[in-house]
């Protein structure tokens, strides 16, 4: 029996792996940070033997509530990721599995590797409608890539989408991938119409260092990028600094920041009702966006979500608030679940990469509903 | 140089094919009918030589207006169908092409062969969610197949969809294919939700004989099936008779009949405002259906369409009227263009098979918008 | 319960289909011919019910020995064709099956439709290395297509390959398809080398009329094309006439005629040892061809086959003999089994479309072994 | 303009990247080693601008002869890798390119990432015919995986194949991949026959640490694994130690060690004529293997290669010699080119991943030729 995590986004610490009935593991902190919640490891062991695995010390993890009603993701072939029933006792997450193949992967959510990210960016740039730009380098020396989809023109609205500031929220990049490929589909009427009215600026992975390192929430030096939008620095948060500089140069008429939420079993948005410049125009845009999304997919809902900020009390270090305020534009944090959409539960796969991709495609419908009124 | 049409849905008559600059063709009537408009043939000739082709005698074709602003479809490989600029002078449709490969197909719209139909039905029945039923045989001895998607239960709404009563309107089956495969996608949340609330009864090809024969509008013996819904007969319209019998046995809560329109360059619906039992409930369902479809895709619109029937003046031999009246249910004839969607023109492909498929997927969004209120 | 055959290559006659336990069928003659052996039909019936099907009157079929140890092919989805255990009593072939899906196809061998044929020809012509030529029309008005693969040059050997003179031998076209796509693969070193040394003239279907009609052995008017090579006529065998004319114009350095054999459970070749001009050079070429094929695949063998013709006693109406004699070239009839390769039996699929394709790829290795010495 | 290599198998050092006309780079040593030759980097720069890139200090690289007539591999989308004409002056390799897309990758050969390796192993284990075993961990903590293909039985020959002891020779894993998937193809008659006669023990990547680190020739601590087979150690060469232990336990009847050769533009084998136990039996097996491979593919040849060892003078620290001697079995080092096969040059792609895969498939033909006589 052997447990390994020496691969892209691998993260686990073995406490005890002497016998299949009693495997105890823990999750490593993000580098230079106290956050931990993302795990990804491979178990190599005997087939047709029952294994009991416990991940411990979770009371101190970033989101203890994230483990309630959460079921671990597993895959034998790294393509099909299914759920394994799991139990949480307040500190330990336990699950049992009888192996069908000797090698099995477990992860907090379906991993989206840096190799796949590079494939996405490399493939996307081949399309006529897409221009690949380099915003700068991360602290580990990775490239921060921006995909510009659609010709740029003064009259066109500028729609920005960022994903995976929090690297363990891999659903954000799956969603971005679905959205990107729909936009690039030249026979998709909706995308063709959108690209006449808007140019898309998409950063499919804001935090490639944290992603490759197997972090939950921070970059290579432990910075939570989504608290850096007031004063990003070259030293701690170059990813935000370069993005904000590009936004200033280009302009922003709408912004979506794609995330995953550890606790809530729903897709939802968090708006910018707490920013100083929030007004009726922004509210109406928000309402129209949500209404269209409610029409197009039962995966979205607007009942469950974060408590709304009081007027003027928004945290302006957070991307969507900062950008909404800076550009007086529609700005949303879009949250997908790690668990499932409880309005439409799927006991086999839970919330999945495919559902993220479909949601990305459907988000374009909601963007279309607001694009004419964005400026 | 040779012109042939001895294949599925082939239809052409050579008047003169002596030289590439002057190829003159005509379209054969549907069997036992005066209708003609569908053509499908293969030209084998010299590459890098300009060819001028004229299809003549179109003033008497079924829809002379269909040729105005219409561009012929062509394909070298039977996969990619592109448009060739065409001119219509009131009786003759002319177009020029310099061949890149020696064999090229031309058709009125992207063909959907009986072989592909059998593949669709055979593949669909493999899904757990789908049951294949046989309604009966056509006059040429083909099978009339019904796909039942979703478990049947008393509380579930019964949604019927038929395609291609008019066999030359192949877009109807492309659209049905897109809709069917989305419904069968187990990771599509919208489809999963729909199948909890409704059972779908889909006939992807109501007129396989006319389709294989290369007809525009009628079945093997020249019957326009969409005028047979008042009194269908075993002798002239068994396709309608068997479908109506199945509807009576099972019940109908909603009905969509997929068609193509020769003249109008838009997607639109024709409702049942002229049937005796039309009322506010039906109007509201119609409005909700249209509103959702307008939200989900710019391919749909509600400005251009057929003149509305006056109250009580609906033609009850037409499928959607007959079914709407018989079951007091929402019933639409859904029309797609042969030409293009002029709100979103694509000079290369025009209205295409891919756009039909996408529209089929999007129609499910509109069905979801009305399903709870159907009964 | 319903049995239908109104589709490409369909052929069956229902004698009794009153109850699942006792379905009795017969095979129709080829048009204007006494031959019958090919069948292809669809049964629509109840799932989870045992069906017993008997095909009768087989003592007078073309090859009664073909039914011994033969297992019927079946498919639910028209993609996967599996074998069903069958029994032959000298006149009746019987098999039992409990349906998993309501619609199931049965056939003598995996069908290769005319639609697929047109797709193959249309797709192949798109490759730079391939030129599509039209040899003429069949009696039913179908196109007889020749694919020329590789540039033509005086020094290059001319290798001719024909398939499916006998239309029920669909394995011949599956094999040709595998061979064609390997030749067109620009990253396949063997194909690149071959195309420097030789030009390929391939007729993937010599008998499209018989194929579409569901014949075993003859064309539209009952002619066995493989007995027409001495004196083909426009009236009875235009397919052979046009092919032979093209051969005369172009020349032939090697010829393979792809067939299926009803009785023998092996792949084998029949050579031209009986033609007048047979000599050591031809014998050595034959030996080298066979030796290479024995090396590259266990699917080939040289023990079982037809009795060898005595010197000078070859039937010169047969394609490979006629062409071998006319051009003093290596000429083989290549036979594949309807049953299985008994040296490597596969109880699930038997001899299959995939194995035909692989064999087609492997035949190129054997051609390479002789190409330098062909002239 | 930016050059990066922070990704799987990335390796480059920027000396000067101030202007597109004069980009100067160097290659980093393998860790704890003097070897260097593998490079892999991404250039992000302006499109439609000519770039001149020089890799310098190559006189001291591992194989200076490797740069003569070598053309760099490049890719925009990480799927299609094409050659760029390059010049070598004894110390500097220079090449020019005008970018079509802003991001382009350059590499010594088509990379095969650790992610793809894990996909291969994970996918392979899903096949019934394949068992995945873990031999141990590398010094960086990666898994050393063995794929056992075919049931094990006393009478079956044991065929071992290892790839990529030298990690920069990525062609070895492309070749292994082709071979593995052919073996797993249940409809491939050759594979089915082979698996009745032999069991395959395949290590698709003997040196995952060196591969991921972007090494040419050594593992994580600078060990050349192919000089460790006399006395492998836990500290310096656990990869070899674990493999040899497994071979001792299981036995070996044949061994192929897949490599790339930097200098020679050919595929060839290096035999074990210099090992003490070399005899006529081994010579005959070698000859039969080579003869079959010459028959099946023009990519192989036996004229160009390494000088043959004199009797008894083989280096027994080398894998194929060590294993050949230890098990008195047929053992080959199989070399593929970094450049091209000069017998069949492809100016666009050179020796490519696809050709490696095809060669892997063809090697199975040569193995079949010797399997019955291996013991
Ligand atoms: Ca988050
Ligand atoms: Ca119509
Ligand atoms: Ca035959
Ligand atoms: Ca080497």
- Chain B, 140-179: which have a CB under 8 Å from a chain C CB? 140-143, 145
**pLDDT-derived band at B77, boundaries 50, 70, 90:** very high
Q: What whole-number distance in Å separates Cα of residue B161 and Cα of residue B333? A: 10
Mean of the per-residue pLDDT values of chain D: 98
Q: Show which residues of A are catalytic.
A: 335
Residue stretches of chain A with pLDDT short of 50: none
Query: CB distance B189–A299 less than 8 Å?
Result: yes
Pick from C188, C295, C354: which is nearest to D295 by CB?
C295
- Asked if residue D94 lies in contact with residue D86, where contact means CB atoms within 8 angstroms, the answer is yes
DSSP annotation string for C67-109: GTT--EEEESSSS--EEE-EEE-SS-EEEEEE-SSSEEEEESS
Mean of the per-residue pLDDT values of chain B: 98
What's the confidence (pLDDT) of residue A59?
A: 98
What's the confidence (pLDDT) of residue B36?
A: 98
- Asked if residue D359 lies in contact with residue D336, where contact means CB atoms within 8 angstroms, the answer is yes
Ligand lying closest to the C-alpha of residue B170 = 2
What pLDDT digit, counting tens, does each position of D281-304 carry? 999 999 999 999 999 999 999 999
Mean pLDDT in residue range D27-47: 98
Helix (H) or strand (E) holding C195: helix C189-197
Ligand lying closest to the C-alpha of residue D224 = 4
Q: CB distance from B292 to chain A under 8 Å?
A: yes
Distance of CA B273 to the CA centre of its chain: 22
Contacts of C127 in chain B (CB under 8 A): none
Going from the Cα of D35 to the center of ligand 4, the distance in angstroms, rounded, reads 12
**pLDDT-derived band at D30, boundaries 50, 70, 90:** very high
**pLDDT-derived band at B233, boundaries 50, 70, 90:** very high
Q: CB distance from B42 to chain C under 8 Å?
A: yes
Contacts of C299 in chain D (CB under 8 A): 189-190
Q: Which two tokens stand for residue B113?
A: 């062969």
Q: CB distance from C39 to chain B under 8 Å?
A: no
The subunits that touch chain D, with at least 3 C-beta pairs less than 8 Å apart, are A, C
The span from the first CA to the last CA of chain C, in angstroms, equals 59
Reduced 3-state DSSP string for D163-212: ECCCCCCCHHHHHHHHHHHHHCCCCCHHHHHHHHHEEEEEECCCCHHHHH
Q: What chain B residue is nearest to A362 in terms of C-alpha separation?
A: B296
Mean of the per-residue pLDDT values of chain C: 98
- Identify the burial level of B323 via C-beta atoms within 10 angstroms of its C-beta, where 0-12 means exposed, 13-18 middle and 19 or more buried: buried
Q: What whole-number distance in Å separates Cα of residue C345 and Cα of residue C266? A: 10
Q: What whole-number distance in Å separates Cα of residue A140 and Cα of residue A135? A: 15
Q: What whole-number distance in Å separates Cα of residue A332 and Cα of residue C71? A: 63
The subunits that touch chain C, with at least 3 C-beta pairs less than 8 Å apart, are B, D
**pLDDT-derived band at B320, boundaries 50, 70, 90:** very high
Q: What whole-number distance in Å separates Cα of residue C213 and Cα of residue D150? A: 44
- Which residues partner with A84 through β-bridges? A72
Q: What whole-number distance in Å separates Cα of residue A299 and Cα of residue D201? A: 47
Q: What whole-number distance in Å separates Cα of residue D120 and Cα of residue D125? A: 9
Query: CB distance D121–A103 less than 8 Å?
Result: yes
Mean pLDDT in residue range C236-242: 98
What pLDDT digit, counting tens, does each position of B32-52 carry? 999 999 999 999 999 999 999
Q: At D175, phi and psi to the nearest 5?
A: -65, -45
Other Cβ atoms closer than 10 A to A306: 13
Q: What whole-number distance in Å separates Cα of residue D118 and Cα of residue D109? A: 20
Q: What chain C residue is nearest to D291 in terms of C-alpha separation?
A: C295
The alpha helices in B49-148, defined as continuous H runs, are 114-124
Q: CB distance from D28 to chain A under 8 Å?
A: no
Q: What whole-number distance in Å separates Cα of residue D160 and Cα of residue D147? A: 10
What's the confidence (pLDDT) of residue D361?
A: 98
What's the confidence (pLDDT) of residue D81?
A: 98
DSSP annotation string for A190-222: HHHHHHHHEEEEEES-S-HHHHHHT-SS--TTS
Catalytic choice (C273, C299, C325, C335): C335
Q: What chain A residue is nearest to B351 in terms of C-alpha separation?
A: A187
Report CA torsion sign: C188, C194, C197, C203. negative
- Identify the burial level of C1 via C-beta atoms within 10 angstroms of its C-beta, where 0-12 means exposed, 13-18 middle and 19 or more buried: middle
Mean pLDDT in residue range C185-213: 98
Pick from D189, D299, D346: which is nearest to C355 by CB?
D189
Query: CB distance C44–B103 less than 8 Å?
Result: no
CA distance B193 to chain A (A): 7
What's the confidence (pLDDT) of residue C49?
A: 97
- Asked if residue A204 lies in contact with residue A176, where contact means CB atoms within 8 angstroms, the answer is yes
What's the confidence (pLDDT) of residue B124?
A: 98
What's the confidence (pLDDT) of residue D291?
A: 98
What's the confidence (pLDDT) of residue C194?
A: 98
* Residue that has been written with the tokens 């619906």 in this structure: B269
DSSP strand pairing (C130-137 vs C143-149)? antiparallel
* Residue that has been written with the tokens 């079946």 in this structure: C74
DSSP annotation string for B159-219: EEEEE-SSTT-THHHHHHHHHHHHHH-TT-HHHHHHHHHEEEEEES-S-HHHHHHT-SS--
What pLDDT digit, counting tens, does each position of C31-82 carry? 999 999 999 999 999 999 999 999 999 999 999 999 999 999 999 999 999 9
């Amino acid at each position: 029996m052997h447990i390994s995590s020496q691969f892209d986004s691998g993260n686990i610490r073995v406490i005890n792996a002497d016998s299949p009935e009693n495997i105890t593991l823990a999750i490593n902190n993000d580098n230079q940070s106290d956050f931990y919640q993302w795990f990804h490891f491979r178990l190599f062991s005997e087939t047709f033997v029952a294994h009991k695995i416990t991940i411990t010390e979770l009371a101190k993890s970033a989101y203890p509530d994230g483990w309630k009603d959460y079921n671990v993701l597993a895959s034998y072939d790294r393509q099909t990721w299914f759920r394994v029933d799991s139990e949480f006792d307040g500190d330990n997450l336990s699950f049992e599995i009888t192996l069908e193949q000797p090698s099995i992967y477990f992860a907090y959510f379906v991993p989206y590797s840096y190799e796949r990210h590079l494939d996405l960016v490399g493939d996307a740039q081949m399309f006529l409608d897409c221009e690949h730009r380099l915003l700068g380098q991360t602290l580990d020396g990775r490239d921060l890539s921006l995909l510009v989809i659609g010709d740029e023109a003064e009259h066109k609205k500028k729609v920005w989408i960022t994903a995976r500031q929090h690297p363990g929220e891999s659903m954000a990049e799956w969603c971005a991938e679905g959205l990107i490929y729909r936009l690039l589909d030249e026979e998709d009427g909706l995308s063709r119409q959108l690209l006449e009215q808007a140019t898309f600026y998409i950063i499919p992975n804001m935090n490639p260092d944290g992603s490759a390192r197997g972090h939950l929430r921070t970059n290579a030096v432990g910075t939570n990028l989504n608290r850096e939008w007031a004063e990003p620095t070259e030293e701690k948060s170059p990813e935000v600094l370069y993005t904000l500089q590009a936004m200033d140069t280009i302009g922003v008429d709408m912004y979506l920041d794609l995330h995953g939420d550890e606790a809530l079993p729903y897709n939802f948005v968090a708006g910018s009702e707490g920013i100083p410049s929030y007004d009726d125009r922004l509210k109406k845009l928000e309402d129209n966006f949500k209404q269209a999304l409610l029409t197009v997919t039962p995966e979205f809902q607007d009942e469950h979500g974060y408590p709304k900020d009081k007027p003027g009390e928004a945290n302006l270090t957070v991307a969507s608030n900062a950008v909404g305020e800076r550009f007086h534009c529609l700005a949303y944090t879009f949250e997908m679940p790690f668990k499932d959409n409880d309005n439409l539960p799927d006991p086999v796969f839970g919330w999945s990469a495919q559902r993220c991709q479909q949601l990305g495609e459907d988000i374009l419908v909601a963007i279309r509903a607001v694009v004419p009124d964005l400026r």
